[in-house]
A and B are shown apart, each in its own frame.
Chain A
Amino acid sequence: MEIAMNTSEAVMSPESTIENGVLAPVRDAVGTPLLAREDARMTCRNVNVYYGEKHAIHDVSLDIGKNEVIAMIGPSGCGKSTFLRCLNRMNDTIDICRVQGQIRIDDQDIYDKSVDVVPLRAQVGMVFQKPNPFPKSIYDNIAYGPRIHGLSNNRTDLDEIVQGSLQKAGLWEEVKDRLDQPGTGLSGGQQQRLCIARAIAVSPEVILMDEPCSALDPIATARIEELIDELRSNFTIAIVTHSMQQAARVSQRTAYFHLGDLVEVGPTEEIFTNPSHKLTEDYITGRFG
């Protein structure tokens, strides 16, 4: 508790970071080797997010590598979801939200005025905290994305995409006989896999997952975690989770967020066995969170 208090003060006055000695080394320690990656799919530099007057994300720089699963962890309210939603501009839907800094994909700043969010979101898909299938049939849920993006030329194409996506999401065997039934009739875990299938149906390169298992039971969670591991070969995945075990199980790299700061990022194993920062250590050992 005391530490958290200190940090919040530290964040508020820039000078204190050095005097305090808590935050200053972290920013340096985040360091080049882990920050900039050769194979980066998305690169974020000095990202700041404001909700009205509130400064929610402070100067975050992070790379998301190709075909890796990067987990973002941290206590609630630390800004990990906010940061994730910046990556495909879902924050645009919030009027008072402002994003500064650079987030690039394919050397294109996604916050550039000329960028159309529609193809961006086809490229960077998203799966949400609560399963949110459309109140339509299972088939139409998957087919909706390909339809609006014009990804299929005819019905056979579309059928293939639907089947392929459901197979990749490991749902095909369970639903192949009832594709015309409403997606809302599935169980929670199935619904979430349906949402994953829906996201991959438009063949995105990056999939953002915002606590995808928080509304699911342990068995369904295990199933989704397996799926995430399988999907890694084809997609880049950024996952926000409040469960450290989950981060440890599914990710190759982990980023630890604290009160809007990216405190530390590194290979998952290292973060969990040998964190370089006291805040991270306190969090993963369960001192607060």
Chain B
Amino acid sequence: MQTSTLIIVLLLLSSALYYLGRQRSLTVANGEARKLHSLPSYYGYYAALWCLLPALAILAIWNGFETKVITTLVVNGLPDAVRNVGDAKLGLIVNDIRNLATGGMTSVDPDPAMIAAAKHYADLRGISHAALAVVALVIASIGGFFAWRHIATGHRARNKVESIVKGFLLSSSTLAIFTTVGIVLSVLFEAVRFFNQIPITDFLFGLQWSPQMAIRADQVGSSGAFGVIPLFVGTMLISLIAMVVAAPTGLMAAIYLSEYANRKVRAVVKPMMEILAGIPTVVYGFFAALTVAPFLRDTGGILGLDVSSESALAAGLVMGIMIIPFVSSLSDDVINAVPQAMRDGAYGLGATRSETIRNVIIPAALPGIVGGMLLAVSRAIGETMIVVMAAGLSANLTANPLEAVTTVTVQIVTLLVGDQEFDSPKTLAAFALGLSLFVTTLILNVVALHVVRKYREQYE
């Protein structure tokens, strides 16, 4: 039975149990719902949930491990000669067997051993599916039956159903924790494997980045250097340019909108800013590569400057444009949180608007603004598409914004897009970069969020 069919059957079964549970509650109460502890429908849900949940749990666990178990069994059944070809090749063979079994294409013409293995694989899958269907249905029936038997007038079905629902609510909210843990573990695990091959000091303090590993010993130009400094310098350079554009523009725009602009102007400008914020980064990247970079290169040419067509300036400028609405909306929130009484105090002394803003509002809002800026920096560091499309690939250690630099995110994308083997330092390096990116942004975020939260509490 297909998994989807099985799920549908289970759903049907549990709806039947809903009906049965409801009926039984009315029967035990002699048709008078008042005598029951809970409404009849709760008895229905109770029976239905007992039918559905255990079976679904079994289904999930089974599906999670099925492929692994079957693959191990099939590999153990392969002839020794095939099994001892090394992990990478074995992986390909297993893939071919799977494809053969499911009727797909294979990379090589199948030999009899493989065809036999594929048949073995298909058989095991068939058995596993049938067994799963039987087990799941039996468990569903048993669960449903016992729940149904339990129903009595004093049975607190509502409380039980509600605690199941509450359990679902709680586990949904803990998903955020699991996501964080998942991120940390997945990058950390691969990064540790990377540091087993490349010393962590070389990674953190190396000034050279050229991740091409020599496949043959005599290959030229493949030093395999994994020094992360040029990447971070490139990232910082581009982020700095972006912040130079975004911080003053975003802040001044927010100040103007919240302190000066009348309702009409706000009604027009705010949605525009939201549009700017809603534009996907890939569009900004295209804009940078297609319009801004050639423009800068040509302008530089006229001025007699040598501007690279993948200059840090182009990427940083466009990234700055992307961040403007982010800075402006965060600053807007922060400025609006400053109590009106503070403004009134300054106006009451005869201060002009700009004096009030500069001497009262900005100092009062400063922690919040700084927090917002940190979040913006974190965003700039993690931004990917603009730099992938507009910044370079070669890791130059330079502070000249007219030259091409590369960033951490660009390298992650370059290393992981395309064909890859899962244990080469090249691929693992991407995870080590991911780890350093995550840690950097995490620190920025935690500090920024803490600052902003403290700021808000101050005025609440």
Contact = CB atoms under 8 A, between A and B. Distances in A.
A153 B39 contact: no
Nearest to B158: A118
A150 B34 CA distance: 6
B432 interface: no
A148 B39 contact: yes
Contacts of B158: 118
B156 A150 contact: no
A2 interface: no
B159 A151 contact: no
A150 B33 contact: yes
B36 interface: yes
A149 B40 CA distance: 10
B32 interface: yes
B159 A150 contact: no
A116 B33 CA distance: 18
B152 to A, nearest CB: 16
Contacts of B40: 150
Interface in A119-161: 148-151, 153
Nearest to B159: A116
A116 B159 CA distance: 9
B156 A116 contact: yes
Contacts of B159: 116
A140 B157 CA distance: 25
A116 B157 CA distance: 13
B166 to A, nearest CB: 15
A151 B34 CA distance: 6
A150 B158 CA distance: 12
Contacts of B38: 150
A153 B156 contact: no
Contacts of A148: 39
Interface string B147-170: 000000000101100000000000
A150 to B, nearest CB: 4
Nearest to A150: B33
A116 B163 CA distance: 14
A253 to B, nearest CB: 33
Nearest to B40: A150
A158 to B, nearest CB: 12
Interface in B308-336: none
Contacts of A118: 158
A149 B156 CA distance: 13
A202 to B, nearest CB: 12
B30 to A, nearest CB: 12
Contacts of B36: 150
A151 B39 CA distance: 9
Contacts of A151: 34
Nearest to B31: A153
Interface in A73-109: none
Nearest to A148: B39
Contacts of A150: 33-34, 36, 38-40
Contacts of A149: 39
Q: Which residue, A116, A150, A151, A153, has most C-beta atoms of chain B within 10 A?
A: A150
Contacts of B34: 150-151
A188 B156 CA distance: 38
A284 B159 CA distance: 47
A151 B158 CA distance: 16
A149 B159 CA distance: 13
Nearest to A152: B33
Contacts of B32: 153
Nearest to A119: B37
Interface in B22-78: 31-34, 36, 38-40
B231 to A, nearest CB: 48
A148 B156 CA distance: 14
Nearest to A147: B39
A278 B38 CA distance: 51
Contacts of B156: 116
A118 B39 CA distance: 12
Contacts of A116: 156, 159
B156 to A, nearest CB: 7
Contacts of B31: 153
Nearest to B42: A150
B225 to A, nearest CB: 57
Q: Which of B33, B156, B159 has the most CB of A within 10 A?
A: B33
Contacts of B39: 148-150
B21 to A, nearest CB: 15
A118 B38 CA distance: 10
B32 to A, nearest CB: 7
A149 B32 CA distance: 12
A116 B31 CA distance: 24
A149 B158 CA distance: 11
Nearest to B156: A116
A285 B32 CA distance: 55
Interface in A144-203: 148-151, 153
Nearest to B36: A150
A116 B37 CA distance: 10
A279 to B, nearest CB: 36
A211 to B, nearest CB: 27
Nearest to A118: B158
A64 B40 CA distance: 34
A116 B34 CA distance: 16
Contacts of A153: 31-33
A151 B156 CA distance: 17
A149 B38 CA distance: 7
A273 to B, nearest CB: 46
A113 B158 CA distance: 17
B204 to A, nearest CB: 46
A118 B33 CA distance: 16
B22 to A, nearest CB: 12
Interface in B118-168: 156, 158-159
B153 to A, nearest CB: 12
Interface in B188-230: none
A96 B240 CA distance: 47
Given A118-B158, A150-B39, A153-B31, 12 more contacts: A116-B156, A116-B159, A148-B39, A149-B39, A150-B33, A150-B34, A150-B36, A150-B38, A150-B40, A151-B34, A153-B32, A153-B33
14 contacts: A116-B156, A116-B159, A118-B158, A149-B39, A150-B33, A150-B34, A150-B36, A150-B38, A150-B39, A150-B40, A151-B34, A153-B31, A153-B32, A153-B33
Interface of A: 116, 118, 148-151, 153
Interface of B: 31-34, 36, 38-40, 156, 158-159
> Considering the complex of A and B, which 8 residue pairs feature the smallest CB-CB distances, nearest first?
A150-B33, A150-B39, A150-B34, A153-B33, A151-B34, A150-B36, A148-B39, A116-B159
